[in-house]
Chains A and B, each alone.
Chain A
Amino acid sequence: MSDHTMQPASEHLLEVKNLTTRFYTEDGVVHAVNGISYTMDEGDTLGVVGESGCGKSVHALSIMRLIPVPPGKIEDGEVIFRGRDLLKLNEDEMRRVRGAEIAMIFQDPMTSLNPVKTIGFQIMEALKLHQGMDNAQARERSAELLDLVGIPEAAQRLDDYPHQFSGGMRQRVMIAMGLSCNPSLLIADEPTTALDVTIQAQIIELVKRLQHQLGMAVIWITHDLGVVAGMAKRVNVMYAGHIIESGPVKLIYSNPRHPYTVGLLGSLPSVGARRAKTLFAIPGEPPDLVGAQKGCPFAPRCTYKVERCPYEMPPIEEIEPGHLVACWERDKVRKPQ
């Protein structure tokens, strides 16, 4: 797309620096995101993997500035999108970024759509607001968008309500809404978790095709390591609000160097492989993020733990080109076999 080529090649599309988000709740301060940094280029696909409560969704909501304030607060950091720090914009300016430049789709396509408005109304709303279209133009464009995401008889279905669509179809509608203003970044927060595998495969193919057609960058947030393997170019593995490992997808899967990543990959049975005797299970439970953390959050569950781990958080450092790991014992950590 034309506006993409105007960017100087050296500049990243998105640069997140030391992003820190906390929630001030009655039970204490929840340290949801703890100083994460990464960059993304135009057209990239970044997978963000982690278990529930690891901060992957909060990080995305922080980028979009959709954190409910209070109790949430973005404490620190910068989110530089095309040279502008989104965290410094006022609410009006931010509203022009959301939807128009960065779009987001959510896990549950039922609760993300308004049940008492037609699908057409909901897609047209953004077009009229962001692009100043009149009714007829917006309607025509909405039909095009539904067609683009593979909904048959798109023009007729504009007058249908969300309950007349199946789960997979609703997620397609959400994607159409996300794409309505040609964003250069699409953040997908577990978009296929609520869907069946055959429908999930449809949605993944759709996003891949659209990305190819429209040249947008995608952040795909998921807990499913299989989805990331087929989707992403780079992966950030998150644990307790930290990025603990980051790198090109093939390196993360073939040469994981953080004990958590190794454990996560080991705990999966594979459809493609023969049966292992027992699964490798990471002992213990993910930590509670209430209260200040000290040391590496994975230390209580870690089999590579050394003396300093519970006291000092290891910095995230590059161990081979593009592959970053935050672990004191990273030189010893290896995938089994």
Chain B
Amino acid sequence: MTIENSIPSEEVHSQEVILKVENLKKYFPIKRGVFRHRVGDVKAVDGVSFNVYKGETLGLVGESGCGKTTTGRTIIRLYEPTEGQVDFQGVDLAKLTGAELRHTRRKIQMIFQDPYASLSPRMSVLGIVGEPMEIHHLVKTPNERKERVAELLEMVGLDPAFMNRFPHEFSGGQRQRIGVARALALNPDMIICDEPISALDVSIQAQVVNLLEELQAKVDLTYIFIAHDLSMVRHISNRVAVMYLGKIVELTDRETLYTNPLHPYTQALLSAVPVPNPEIEEKRQRTILEGDLPSPAHPPVGCNFNTRCPRAFDHCHVEEPPMIEVEPGHFCACHLVQPSK
């Protein structure tokens, strides 16, 4: 490994931590029988820790069921965390309640995956984008609300004249823009983007990603970008965390992750992504993982990737590998990976 690799990539993010997630867990109980006894847990998020720096985009990738969406939703307290801390600008979000929670949560907003399900069909765009501002008393008069909504719509590339229309009158890409405008309504510091483009067509995806990047530069936002599309995550993120079965297996800056992935799962995941270039595809050697994701209700003992890992050895079935900092800023949880001197 060369020294260049260990130096953080081209754009250096600030060192100010805006969000610090520590040992976050979210278990969903499995209940059985007439009396709904708790017989086990689905360990959707099982001890996740990471920092998010101000102004950066942290990508959170993994396959379905790996807990990436649950992590996002637990941070913002759409789910009650089972354990752990979510330190946002010095306040532990996981412990807040009631008015305090609502007040703090204003600063973290979310954009959802499904632009059809996440907008109320009975509300006009004015209502959808304006409602959060009314709840938080950011606007005083109906006129002020209208002005502010018009401003937001313009920001996300929609004609303010559309503000009295209803969601069904818009296409998928436009609806996602409405979702972005709603998230911006409260002047958040951070937006959790939960697969914001995976329901959109390829040509529209690029439009929304470009919009998110523009806004980030314009109003100084921090993003957590949750996705399963590794190429888009590489494009938008500064740092990327890879999740598998409720745990982060590797976290590092974008370039290092894609040029020097250390965890066998990251390597397999990258190798599975088809590249839109026939010349490259012809020569590629793939690592094809066998089998399926184990159930998060019964994760394997030891390293939870050991059932599919091409390089698993005895120790992997016994002990869970700790997360170590291999190089400054490059974290990996695998028994095969040792810190470099």
Binding site for B on A (CB under 8 A): 51-52, 166-169, 196-202, 204-205, 223-230, 249-250, 253-254, 263-272, 274-276, 278-283, 285-286
Contact = CB atoms under 8 A, between A and B. Distances in A.
A198 B269 contact: yes
B205 interface: yes
Nearest to A277: B213
B272 A230 contact: no
Given A198-B63, A201-B274, A285-B204, 5 more contacts: A266-B206, A267-B205, A272-B275, A279-B235, A282-B206
Nearest to B282: A230
B273 interface: yes
Contacts of B292: 166-169, 199
A314 B231 CA distance: 34
A279 B209 contact: yes
B171 interface: yes
B281 interface: yes
Contacts of B173: 285
B64 interface: yes
B101 interface: no
Contact of A285 (B171, B213, B268, B279): B171
A167 B213 CA distance: 34
B201 A286 contact: yes
Contact of B201 (A51, A230, A250): A51
Q: Which of B206, B272, B282 has the most A CB atoms < 10 Å from its CB?
A: B206
A271 B270 contact: yes
A274 B279 CA distance: 17
A278 B235 CA distance: 9
A274 B9 CA distance: 12
B340 interface: no
A205 B286 contact: yes
B276 A226 contact: yes
A168 B64 CA distance: 12
Contacts of A201: 271-272, 274, 286, 288-289
Interface of B: 63-64, 171, 173-174, 201-207, 209-210, 213, 228, 230-232, 234-235, 254-255, 258, 268-282, 284, 286, 288-290, 292-293
A27 to B, nearest CB: 13
A192 B81 CA distance: 33
Contact of B235 (A226, A227, A269): A269
B334 to A, nearest CB: 17
A281 B202 CA distance: 9
B interface SS class: helix
B231 A269 contact: yes
A272 B280 CA distance: 9
Q: Which of B174, B204, B254, B276 has the most A CB atoms < 10 Å from its CB?
A: B276
B277 A272 contact: yes
A271 B258 contact: yes
Contacts of B286: 201, 205
A230 B279 CA distance: 9
B321 to A, nearest CB: 20
A202 B290 CA distance: 8
Contact of B269 (A197, A224, A254, A274): A197
Given A197-B63, A279-B209, A281-B203, A271 B234 contact: yes
Contacts of B290: 202
B232 A269 contact: yes
A201 B230 CA distance: 14
B175 to A, nearest CB: 11
Closest 5 CB pairs of A and B: A226-B274, A269-B235, A230-B281, A267-B206, A201-B272
Contact of A282 (B203, B230, B231): B203
Contact of A52 (B201, B235, B279): B201
Nearest to A53: B201
Nearest to A250: B278
B288 A202 contact: yes
Contacts of B293: 166, 196
12 contacts: A226-B231, A226-B273, A229-B277, A253-B278, A253-B279, A266-B206, A272-B277, A275-B234, A275-B235, A285-B174, A285-B204, A286-B201
Q: Which of B174, B228, B255, B288 has the most A CB atoms < 10 Å from its CB?
A: B288
B231 A196 contact: no
Nearest to B11: A275
A262 B275 CA distance: 16
B231 A271 contact: yes
